[in-house]
Amino acid sequence: MVSYQKRGNVWQYEISYKDVDGKYKKLRKSGFIKKSEAVMAASLLQSTHPNLYTVRSGDETLVSYFDRWINVYKKGKVSEITYNKYQNTSQHASELFGNLKLKEITKLIYQKKLNEFGKTHARRTVSCLHKQLRACILDAIDERIIVSDPTRKAVIVGIDPPKKLKSLNYNQWKKLVSNLNTNRSAEMIIYIACVTGMRYGEIVGLTVNDFNYSRSTLHINKTWDYKYKTGFKKTKTKSSNREIIIDKSSANKLRQYIRKSNLTSDDLLFMDSKKHVMVSAEINKVLTGKLKDLKIPRITFHGLRHTHASILLYKGVSTLSVSRRLGHSSVSTTQSTYLHIIKELEYQDQDKIISILNIDND
For the segment 105-158, what is each residue's pLDDT rounded down to a tens digit?
A: 999 999 999 999 999 998 999 999 999 999 999 999 888 788 899 999 999 999
Is the per-residue pLDDT at 52 higher than 70?
A: no
Q: What dotted CATH number matches 170-348?
A: 1.10.443.10
The sign of the torsion formed by the CA atoms of 131, 134, 43, 100 equals positive
Average pLDDT over residues 336-344: 81
Q: Where are the domains of the chain?
A: 2-142, 170-348
pLDDT digit string, tens, across residues 154-200: 999 998 765 555 899 999 999 999 999 999 999 999 999 999 999 99
pLDDT digit string, tens, across residues 200-220: 999 999 999 999 999 999 999
Give the rounded percent of residues in the chain with a pLDDT score beyond 70: 92
For 2-142, which CATH superfamily applies?
Answer: Tyrosine recombinase, N-terminal domain (1.10.150.130)
The CB-based long-range contact list for 300-304 (8 Å cut-off, 24+ gap) reads 300/166, 301/190, 301/193, 301/200, 302/199, 302/200, 303/165, 303/166, 303/167, 303/168, 304/167, 304/168, 304/190, 304/193, 304/194, 304/197
> How many Cα atoms sit within 13 Å of 265 on the Cβ side?
0
Query: Which of these ranges, 15-29, 61-75, 317-331, 338-352, has the smallest mean pLDDT?
Result: 15-29
Confidence band for 53, pLDDT divided at 50, 70 and 90: very low
